[in-house]
Structure 1
Amino acid sequence: MISIELDREAAIAVLQLQGELREKDFDLITKVIDPYIIEHGKLNGLIINTKDFPGWNSLGAMVEHFKFVKSHEKKLTHVALVTDSPIGDLMGILAKFFVSADVKHFDYDEFTKAQEWILEK
């Protein structure tokens, strides 16, 4: 499950992951951020905030996740992975091959630092 907050002034979307990701989570994200992107052309950043990466509840959810990344990667300038999960480092490295946004991993207690990183660019 995902909850999403959009800071319209800073142009940052914050995703809070709570439990396994589901297909419909990516519909929710799209419904929240796409109108902003249509109006402004892009987001300054996306913060993915989770203590531990919960995984997906189905293959379909994983496919929707990759579709979301593919369709939005050029519309984001920064992606901050705020997590203590070891997958944070791995995703930060792998993302450089698949997305044009700057991607950086932060420890779970460095949420404010992640926001500052996005805003300073």
Structure 2
Amino acid sequence: MRILENILTDRGSKYAVSGGPCRNEADARAFVAALKQDRKFAKATHNSWGLICDDGPMKSDDGESGAGMTILRMLEREGLRDHIIVVTRWYGGKHLGGDRFRHVQTAVRQYMAQL
């Protein structure tokens, strides 16, 4: 599991991105559960994720509408399979509107640059 913390801050909201090998939905749920073993990630407002595997594309917005699909699109473009990417957001009290999608993209790009 690779975790990049404090990669972006905007209007009080903070972002992190993490990921690792993952082959199916059960692995994805286990990955997120392991991430949430860290109390900080358990208290996050959103842990959105995307995964493309043999079972097809899978995602979870975790309350951040559209974030999972944004991650999936980026995984498809890169051709990255069997690897989950989770974008974590701690809400800072101010709505970000469309900027939240740009922040998800920025987080995923930073993660992919580390692969």
Alignment TM-score, normalising by the size of structure 1: 0.34
Structure ranking higher in helix proportion: 1
Structure ranking higher in strand proportion: 2
- The structure whose RCO (Cα within 8 Å, separation 6+) is larger is 2
